[in-house]
Amino acid sequence: MLLAVDIGNTTTVVGFYNGPKLEYRYSIRSDYGHSLEEISSSFSLFLKDKGIERKSFEGAIISCVVPSLETWWKALLKDEYGLRPYVVGPKLKTGLVIKTDNPKEVGSDLIADAVAAKSLYGENVLIADLGTANKVILIGKDGAFEGCTIGIGMGLSARALSLDAALLPSVSMEIPNRVLGKNTPDSMNSALTYGVSYEIRGLCDAIEKEAGVPCKRIMTGGYARFLKDLLNDFEYVDELTLLGLRLIYERNRK
């Protein structure tokens, strides 16, 4: 069984792959205050609950945008499970051509998304990954990573409004019946849902115009589920990053 560990700014997700099949999914908040012991205890309880034997793990791969948590997960996998995980970065083979000014600065999560999208759709694909940050990635001709946009995500926007504006409450990010709000929660939810959907579609329209070819549009990420109804011309692909990690692992294992 392969462990694919996606350490994001908000959530860490571990996919348990039995061959190409995603058998289980474990998630924990990417809390900078977590100790190694807390992460280990939570992970062990999950394994016990699912009846997963430690000896069933054959390998692991990590994508991380939080360096301190990467160190802890590498130590956990090595010391308690005898695994030396691959870490997505310049030293790993991805099969992906990166056409940016500095390919080394491209986030490992973006690389995993791109590898998965290339595998599924080939070329000319726009990926909207809606997590802590809203990312739009273009996979262009011949499946190359052409570039991306990075903006503030829905969760950060919602928290910033409620924390920094004294009279604004926390909201649930539900889609209101109309764009023009008639009360404060609906007005905030409108900007968070309709606003982000217009932002993502507008960016994709502009990027597609620059690319000069029509592109397949897909969406993924923790907040994508809130916008599936508004971005119904995008195909929702759950766990795209984990799929990319599995594919990168298999390429390097061979």
- Phi/psi of residue 19, each to 5°? 65, -135
DSSP 120-150: HH-SSEEEEEESSEEEEEEE-GGG-EEEEEE
Residues 31, 101, 109, 164: which is the catalytic one? 109
Task: In whole angstroms, give the CA distance from residue 108 to residue 110.
Answer: 5
Query: How distant, in Å, are the alpha carbons of 43, 117, 131, 188, 231 from that of 196?
Result: 34, 22, 12, 12, 10
C-alpha separations of 70 from 25, 36, 66, 247 in Å: 18, 11, 6, 20
Residue partners of 254: CB distance under 8 A and separation at least 6: none
Q: Tell me if residue 101 is catalytic.
A: no
The residues assigned a catalytic role are 109
